[in-house]
């Protein structure tokens, strides 16, 4: 396995080199890296010229690329036009913890949610729950990420002004509706669902005034939490700031992951071993959890790995909407300020992250499913 991992990582190096060359040509040759510096009145022209010479921008592209590459390998990623002219690697490295935190939390929440939704759908494919969840997934897919974020913000504000009793109220309503949907099947569970839902909704409505908002809605961050002090990381304040961005990313991921996992589950439930187990008289619930779920985790892990690399720098929109100080926001700010060195650094770090995430996902899938052979490419 170690050998396989090493071969995969080595095999990715030529790809990364090609990526860096294309990115270099686009960023340093098509765009002008020092345009921004020339506009700042306090930057002396001779300093700009020194930078141009240092980065090899006045020489042909292959010499310039070589200058960039040798600098990149040495850890000198070029001056950041913003951030008071420190090396580009500094703001990038500083933004990584925040990104990792948001990404991993969102990953955990979305994966758990996707599994729950997929299990509910796959219990009876084509049933009412499956149809409803499928429709919601389509809606989720069609909604732009920033719209999700903005709607969550508006909802949070509404709750601040009108009380958060709306949450238990909606939950009660949903429970009651779920009970009504299975009314035809009857049974004590159905009655209990309806009664509990109605009671919860009524209770929330009765206490609406008391459950009022305390005015503490957390929308924007902007602030850098220190990852050196442990108290900061687990403080209530910090976690509060994470709720809405994590929810945004989770909803966006959920729409895609849950449908995929559902398809895999349905396929697994129709497979021979599961049908044999069903014929032996195992209860459907156990079939779903012990057999279906177990064999269908691999594909989801691979998909999550593909998305994870993209989330690393790709959560640009979520981080922008909530001012979360991660790589995505840094990339957006760098792009708006034409801070080329920072943008280039983020491109390279992201590409590397994609390679590592895909490899990790393949290894995890192989660990989960002994049928998967490492190194074989599915058609």
* Residue ranges binding other proteins (CB under 8 A): 12, 15-16, 18-19, 23, 26-27, 30-31, 138-139, 141-147, 150, 153-154, 157, 219, 249, 252-253, 256, 259-260, 263-264, 266-267, 299, 303, 306-307, 309-318, 320-321, 331-332, 335-336, 338, 340, 343, 346-347, 350-351, 354-355, 379
Q: Please, what is the minimum distance in Å from the beta carbon of residue 203 to other proteins? A: 30
Quick one: 50 or 131, whose CB is closer to other proteins?
Answer: 131
Quick one: 181 or 335, whose CB is closer to other proteins?
Answer: 335
- Name the residue with tokens 């935190």: 101
Crossing angle (nearest 10°) for helices 166-181 and 188-206:
160
Q: Please, what is the minimum distance in Å from the beta carbon of residue 332 to other proteins? A: 5
How far apart, in whole angstroms, are the C-alpha atoms of residue 172 and residue 159?
A: 17
Q: Please, what is the minimum distance in Å from the beta carbon of residue 334 to other proteins? A: 9
CA atoms within 13 A on the CB side of 10: 6
Structure-block tokens of residue 33: 């890296």
Quick one: 171 or 217, whose CB is closer to other proteins?
Answer: 217
Quick one: 83 or 341, whose CB is closer to other proteins?
Answer: 341
Q: Please, what is the minimum distance in Å from the beta carbon of residue 126 to other proteins? A: 12
Quick one: 249 or 287, whose CB is closer to other proteins?
Answer: 249
DSSP code of residue 6? H
Residues 6+ apart with CB under 8 A from 214: none
Quick one: 117 or 343, whose CB is closer to other proteins?
Answer: 343
With vertex at residue 30, the alpha carbon angle to CA 26 and CA 34, rounded to the nearest 5 degrees, is 105
Other residues' Cβ atoms within 10 Å of the Cβ of residue 312: 24
Q: Please, what is the minimum distance in Å from the beta carbon of residue 267 to other proteins? A: 6
CA torsion angle 304 305 307 313 (round to 10): 140
Q: Please, what is the minimum distance in Å from the beta carbon of residue 169 to other proteins? A: 22
Q: Give one DSSP letter per residue of 213-259, joined into a string.
A: --S-------SPPPSSSHHHHT-HHHHHHHHHHHHHHHHHHHHHHHH
Q: Please, what is the minimum distance in Å from the beta carbon of residue 50 to other proteins? A: 23
Residues 6+ apart with CB under 8 A from 291: 268, 269, 273, 274, 277, 282
């Amino acid at each position: 396995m170690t050998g396989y991992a090493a071969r995969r990582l080595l095999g990715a190096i030529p790809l990364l080199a090609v990526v860096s060359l294309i990115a270099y040509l686009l960023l340093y040759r098509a765009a002008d890296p020092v345009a921004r510096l020339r506009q700042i009145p306090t930057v002396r022209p001779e300093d700009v010229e020194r930078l141009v010479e240092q980065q090899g921008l006045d020489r042909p592209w292959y010499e310039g690329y070589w200058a960039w590459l040798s600098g990149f390998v040495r850890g000198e990623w070029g001056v950041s036009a913003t951030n008071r002219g420190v090396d580009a690697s500094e703001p990038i490295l500083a933004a990584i913890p925040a990104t990792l935190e948001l990404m991993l939390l969102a990953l955990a929440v979305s994966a758990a949610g996707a599994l729950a939704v997929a299990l509910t759908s796959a219990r009876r494919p084509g049933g009412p729950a499956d149809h409803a969840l499928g429709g919601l997934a389509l809606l989720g897919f069609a909604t732009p990420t920033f719209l999700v974020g903005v709607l969550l913000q508006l909802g949070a504000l509404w709750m601040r002004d009108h009380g958060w009793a709306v949450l238990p109220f909606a939950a009660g309503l949903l429970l009651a509706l779920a009970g009504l949907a299975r009314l035809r099947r009857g049974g004590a569970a159905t009655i209990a669902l309806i009664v509990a839902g109605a009671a919860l909704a009524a209770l929330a409505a009765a206490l609406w005034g008391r459950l009022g908002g305390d005015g503490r809605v957390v929308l924007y961050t902007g602030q850098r939490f220190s990852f050196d002090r442990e108290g900061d990381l687990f403080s209530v304040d910090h976690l509060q700031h994470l709720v809405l961005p994590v929810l945004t990313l989770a909803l966006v991921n959920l729409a895609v992951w849950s449908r995929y996992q559902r398809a895999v589950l349905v396929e697994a439930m129709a497979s021979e071993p599961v049908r044999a187990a069903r014929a032996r008289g195992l209860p459907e619930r156990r079939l779903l959890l012990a057999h279906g779920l177990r064999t269908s985790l691999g594909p989801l892990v691979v998909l999550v790995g593909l998305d994870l690399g993209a989330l690393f720098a790709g959560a640009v929109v979520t981080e922008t909407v909530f001012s979360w100080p991660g790589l995505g926001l840094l990339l957006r700010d760098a792009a708006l300020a034409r801070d080329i060195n920072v943008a280039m650094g983020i491109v390279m770090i992201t590409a590397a992250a994609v390679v590592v995430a895909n490899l990790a996902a393949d290894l995890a899938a192989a660990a989960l499913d002994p049928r998967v052979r490492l190194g074989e490419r599915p058609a």
